[in-house]
Structure 1
């Protein structure tokens, strides 16, 4: 018999991603288990959440590299069963004893599973696993069948959650368009998840929607962006960066701002990993130091130094104009280079020559 309270919490979690760990706890209690995990089966980074009790276990499981060679998930997804499956539905006892992944999970304290795979419209496969400790009895077919009535509700909740998160990023890029900014959300491998019309208008002069990932016409910017994506995928605290881009055979220039999507905004249902904001560069206007500061996340002092360099002044001339030490200018200039993505005073001057305001 279905637990009505649990059913309500399943649909509540569809709207509030932060509730899924608690929901996994409730499914765990229904199964006399240790904890639960919800994770994606997709190319690139595994997005996941878990019960508090099993979070250290699953984090270590991922750190040991098993998601890249996970026979449990491979067999479960291949079975394409609209219900829960146990280890013994997918493996013989001899296979479970000999399988290296299971040996490692038992070493970590787990290794007994019942789970289900759910395909969602964004292209991901979501897996819900309920885990028992290695010393507990294996899940039986009866355990799986007791969870099966919840499976269609979990599938609908997952699909709703995926749809809501997609809509959230579509709304974000639309809001940025109202502010006059071209914007897109991209996934962990660089695929465009959502973009606004201003961003589309920059195709194909600056960008192309390539096979499975964004392509940038400026090869230098392309390399920088995807090096940063790889670095961000491996980092728990990715950083925002600003990158100058230029169109091939054109004088058009822009600044591409990459903002990592982290925290609750990056829930297990969200394929977007970075928000891109593109600022076109104009020419015939006055340099706006406030805009320079905002575009590249500079301090006021760094923006003033950048502005002096953009006027064509040398480091000593900048120090004299601003009334500060030469070494201070050099230190601020290094910070400006790091934040703006350029490597020389001449490149900085060329880049900032277009950051103008009316009048």
Structure 2
């Protein structure tokens, strides 16, 4: 009998751990785990609660057994009255810590609080338990379980289950935090790439087109130099198509050791006229590696450098229009007082706005901000017409292959 009970407990634990890691990279990654833990501990409700220690605000990314209106009411009105919340914010808290509401405050005292009278009572809740999964100087993330007076305090066996889950919950929270950071970096990188005047085409190991940026999409829509046929990127002019196919093949067959070389070709319009420089790069040296095709058109994208830089600052760092204008102007003038005057704002306003920009960009001072803005401007590239020498000499060190048909590469 005891063995059967032990096997059942182990199977339950394995099932909960499996649910925790099953969808860790998905938007609702904690939902199935939360629901499973609530059922295993006879909890009528539960939530994944994230407390912002700076703003002293709670958010509920996931909840179980409660209506959405109750979750929103907690976030907006009752979180500040929660007497259990202080226990999650104590200095000695740590990842994997188990909290029981009855150890924090007896039910008799709890029932005297505004939190119980105006919130918990309507949910039929009197007891709670918490499992901290994330704890640092800025935030605490915990699994919070709730149940009624009739169900009573959480038992030793139920708390033992939470302790068994604790290292897995902490590990999952740490992994998820890393995923979120990587996703944010990817979003910022994508935003910057979309503002490039440079055309970017990503081809997989089989030569199929899998990703483009905004400038590349515009080029494909125009039909002037490139097109997509059966999922593959092709040049409109025969000479350019032969040159591009050769460049992609050469890049794909590049040596596996050392820095993969770039393979360049001249992009022509349907009539054979040169419209841009292109280069194919292998992304990494192993296996059937994907390649990226960069194209710089001789006539660059419309719009001023300042406009594109401000757009990129907004998208990459989440700056407001005013903050982006300040950052862009400060990179030119390097003097906050003159920059504020040029933008028509008070120096005090500029200083306040600048602090917000530092936080969003992730720099500590004006020097760091200017460096970040100048680096972004360099990546975006100029919008003026490129030099008319289109044989690759002078403007680039890449060596072009001999032209095949059409016009000569030297005009």
Tell me the TM-score normalised to structure 1 length.
0.50
Structure with greater Cα Rg? 2
Higher relative contact order (CA 8 A, sep 6+): 1
